[in-house]
Amino acid sequence: MSDLELVEIASPIPGGNQVLSGSALGALVGVNLLWCVSPVAAKSALTAFGPLTVSALRFAPAGMILLAMSRAQGPLPRISPRDWPRFFVLAILGIVLTYGLYYTGVAQTTASEAVLLTACEPILIALFARIFLKERLSRQQWIGLWIGLAGIWMIVGGGFGNAIALLALCIESTTTVTAKRLTALYPGLYVVAVEMLIGSVILLPGMGWELAHRHTVVSWGAFGGVLYLGLICSALCFGVWFRLMESYSISVMGAFILIQPLFGPVSGWLFRHETLTPRGAFGGALVVLGVAFNAIRMPKRA
């Protein structure tokens, strides 16, 4: 489950304070800048571990930490027997399949293009909501959708790894319906924690197979990449995000997600000395513009 998808499915009904305090503003900028480095950390982790192993090592500790955070907020709700299949479907699609494919794609592309593809999720979610849920889109959203799709086409044309990563994000975007139903019944942080833990358990056999069939030499960089994904991207950032959601409107907070595609390529250049191709840069610019059209609501004319 990517950071953008976690934000999308675990968000409550819009509401809350529309004016950010200085500390909240700094926290939101900091969280999204930390998320920018996620593909760089994944590239480092994948030098030693397979995609399924990286996924399990990321989400198992993060799920336990988020579950403890959820418990600290009050007694954990009892999951109804009829909802367990939904949790398993969510975990299989949103964790196992998504990250097995996504990290396979990341291993074959650059961190810079991976973060641009991750930023495509709001575009994909809007597209699938229109196709499967028949949700109506405003003219502004339609413009953003087509601009964003053009950007996705430009980025994916850069290589096979990009296509695999995009397939993973498409699978993940279809989980929104199941996730929204569950977050209507249980706290969002709790849903995310349970999903991560179920997904991690399902990933264990695949993790064991990869470790048995790979000659794994764990470097400090690979170890640090796994820790960053699990403790920083998943546990710390979402702990801060959910704390802020208690006081501020998700519509205001969501606009800060645009930081990721804007500054993500900078992290690729800074830590991995990557450069964006002209095709990737132009596609990324279109994605940012498309996401902006969907995330920023223009005032209606009187």
Q: Which residue has the higher pLDDT, 39 or 154?
A: 39
> What's residue 18's pLDDT?
61
The reply to whether 302 falls in a domain is no
Mean pLDDT of 46-69: 94
Q: Among 3-7, 60-64, 109-113, 170-174, where is mean pLDDT lowest?
A: 3-7
> What's residue 30's pLDDT?
92
The reply to whether 301 falls in a domain is no
Identity of the residue numbered 274: E
Cβ contact 203:55 at 8 Å: yes
Confidence check: pLDDT of 27 > 50: yes
Rounded to whole angstroms, how far apart are CA atoms 55 and 45?
Answer: 10
Q: What percent of the chain clears pLDDT 70, i.e. is strictly above it?
A: 85
Residue 127's contacts (CB-CB under 8 Å, 6 or more residues apart) are: 145, 149, 173
Domain range holding 60? 3-295
Mean pLDDT of 56-78: 93
Domains contained in the chain, number = 1
SS3 per residue for the chain: CCHHHHHHHCCCCCCCECCCCHHHHHHHHHHHHHHHCHHHHHHHHCCCCCHHHHHHHHHHHHHHHHHHHHHHCCCCCCCCHHHHHHHHHHHHHHHHHHHHHHHHHHCCCCHHHHHHHHCCHHHHHHHHHHHHCCCCCCHHHHHHHHHHHHHHHHHHCCCHHHHHHHHHHHHHHCCHHHHHHHHCCCCHHHHHHHHHHHHHHHHHHHHHHHHHHCCCCCCHHHHHHHHHHHHHHHHHHHHHHHHHHCCECHHHHHHHHHHHHHHHHHHHHHHHCCCCCHHHHHHHHHHHHHHHHHHCCCCCCC
Q: Among 116-130, 201-215, 216-230, where is mean pLDDT lowest?
A: 116-130
Could you read off the pLDDT of 263-300 as tens digits, one per residue? 888 888 888 888 878 887 888 888 878 877 766 654 44
The reply to whether 276 falls in a domain is yes
The reply to whether 60 falls in a domain is yes
Mean pLDDT of 125-143: 73
Q: Which two tokens stand for residue 178?
A: 């199941």
Confidence check: pLDDT of 240 > 90: no
- C-alpha torsion 58→44→123→243, nearest 10: 40
Residue 71's contacts (CB-CB under 8 Å, 6 or more residues apart) are: none
The reply to whether 287 falls in a domain is yes
> What's residue 60's pLDDT?
95
Mean pLDDT of 194-222: 92
Chain-wide mean pLDDT for the chain? 82
The reply to whether 300 falls in a domain is no
The reply to whether 43 falls in a domain is yes
Could you read off the pLDDT of 244-258 as tens digits, one per residue? 776 776 666 766 777
The reply to whether 139 falls in a domain is yes
> What's residue 184's pLDDT?
81
> What's residue 62's pLDDT?
92
